Structure 1
């Protein structure tokens, strides 16, 4: 708004107010007296412009954005700790239990046993909040002594850890809440409540899916994958516990019988014929092609909650393959052995299957 209030413009306006019979050339007394004032005034205008932007949600950032969204009850999601499954065996590969609170490490991360799933299967919580807790798999080393323990393994992600919510994510939730007006169990209300649950990255609401008063909720994880049964059960309990479904004991209104399910992976198998640069072989570009296709499929999963129908398009896959260094042309592209695009159901998300490249 104040872009035109530059040092030069301000100084010129000030000099124009001085009588013409006074020496106003650079280095003159009046010029040297006004120049510092013009510099300070231009700095003030820049700060005014910054403060003006910080007062509106579409341009605010960090604590100023938080203060704006908090006025409407929308707060930044804090970083959360990853919940993982740990498997524990004796030296004879027999599953055994461990004490609650036992700590283990893998690389630079520590995990603590918090609850038992079944014999030898335990929930482990990463001691560091954020997505870093989702990334390690394999052999755990005990920090605390466990009698009879032969080996320990860190396996699936039960509830993904999340980094503190970004400005853009917080701004998007704020804009949706303001524009859609969640109220009394409408679809927007369900999305608003469920998307705020740790580990949930997106929600689709299907009203009256199995008769009057029934609601189907489909969720995707915060890392845009298929949710574990642990996460599904947690959301179900918070929204509408199965034991007392429809009684309004959870967040769902009285009379709403809610069923929570998770997305399901649909493997996308890709085959294509490539024209390659001289000296380049399909094997040399295959990893880059797989990465390019995976990136495209991830972008679709990221918008899953906002799209009525996801479509995996051959044209999009071909454009990404063509961007790979060494690839000159691509033809005969098939998705799951078909020349057609793939339309996914509400419950499906696309993941990369096999990639076959011919020359």
Structure 2
């Protein structure tokens, strides 16, 4: 009997099953009808036994990685020498000005801000960079922290860069850019704005993703600077979503790491610098980072390859074509997002390299799934009638990004 069959059998042992079992051990000359003394005496016991059967079935499922969930799956991960990838916090870049359209210079580490909206996102200042400036065009009509609307000249303002970190874990803050309001009192501040998501956050690894990773046949021991060791290093850096690893890319002892952020988009300069410092400062191979001694590690971001898609669509009668086209765009954005999630998966079938291909047939399938589309032609990719294989070499690592979508009718 397999574990799944055993669980199914135990779950079948419900209240009626145990009540019948108990009643079978009672003499037939005793009144067993519902409401009788013996029925009322045995029914609570049958209820408890049925509840214990559910607990036993759940316990059996928790034993095995294939069926375990939640904290029980976390325990299984620890036994494999790993752990669930934790959720992280978003880091953003912001600027602030006063009523005279001049940069505010008295913002300090620890000051708090909040986004506008019904469910605000709260941020804490973690760094104020004086030596790096940014330029930002503020709107002519602005609302200050007291709710008063005032006018300012819409010219570029050079202001200190403020780095904030969201106070909540997860990806919700990844989608917010715009005005933020001070929570900490600051009488000099009139307008502040998030201008860039520098380090997107990620959600906690799901049970399905963790289970897949634990059961992967390609899992092997991370040791001494092998590829698995660098994969493990990438997993431990919360701000990095994934990375491609190119060992000995410029000879023995050299390693190239091509990384993306938690949105699976090319890492920002700030993220690259931070990760380089953690892995191999300088780089020098001195062993002061996570990389082994004599491993000279170069950290960089992939090259975005924008892919333009063109197809001729036949729409269903009476359908709002604009809505259908918007839905197609959203579906293709999701498709490319999934492509990027698999961008750093090592393909053992090609000698443990990386294989990312955009298939025209898969894009056509995504289009045909949309309600209101009755037919579509096989799309072209960057005006080419062929699938598009991305480069993944020591010199160039391409990341697929959706370009212009042209839907003819």
Q: TM-score, normalised by structure 1?
A: 0.87
Shift of 1:121: 1.4
Q: Which residue of 1 aligns with 2:340?
A: 301
Q: CA RMSD in A?
A: 3.0
Q: Which residue of 1 aligns with 2:357?
A: 311
CA distance in 2, matches of 1:314, 1:227: 28
Shift of 1:69: 2.3
Any conservation in 2 of the 1:184–1:253 contact (CA below 8 Å)? yes
Any conservation in 1 of the 2:7–2:60 contact (CA below 8 Å)? no
What are the within-5 Å matches in structure 2 for residues 105-144 of structure 1?
Answer: 105-107=114-116, 108-117=120-129, 118-119=132-133, 120-144=160-184
1:232 and 2:272 aligned: yes
Stretch deviating more after TM superposition (307-316 or 64-73): 64-73
What are the within-5 Å matches in structure 2 for residues 38-117 of structure 1?
Answer: 40-89=48-97, 95=103, 97-101=105-109, 102-107=111-116, 108-117=120-129
What are the within-5 Å matches in structure 2 for residues 1-359 of structure 1?
Answer: 1-5=6-10, 6-7=13-14, 27=33, 32=39, 40-89=48-97, 95=103, 97-101=105-109, 102-107=111-116, 108-117=120-129, 118-119=132-133, 120-146=160-186, 149=189, 151-175=191-215, 179-243=219-283, 245-280=284-319, 282-307=321-346, 308-331=354-377, 333-346=379-392, 347-359=397-409
Q: Deviations over 1:81-122 (max 9, x none)?
A: 211011234556555534323333221122232213324112
Unaligned runs of 5+ in 2: 1-5, 134-159, 347-353
CA distance in 2, matches of 1:336, 1:154: 34
CA distance in 2, matches of 1:25, 1:220: 73
Q: TM-score, normalised by structure 2?
A: 0.77
CA distance in 2, matches of 1:300, 1:127: 30
Shift of 1:167: 2.5
CA distance in 1, matches of 2:123, 2:292: 37
Q: Deviations over 1:184-239 (max 9, x none)?
A: 11111110121121122212211111111111111222222221111112211111
CA distance in 2, matches of 1:80, 1:293: 27
Unaligned runs of 5+ in 1: none
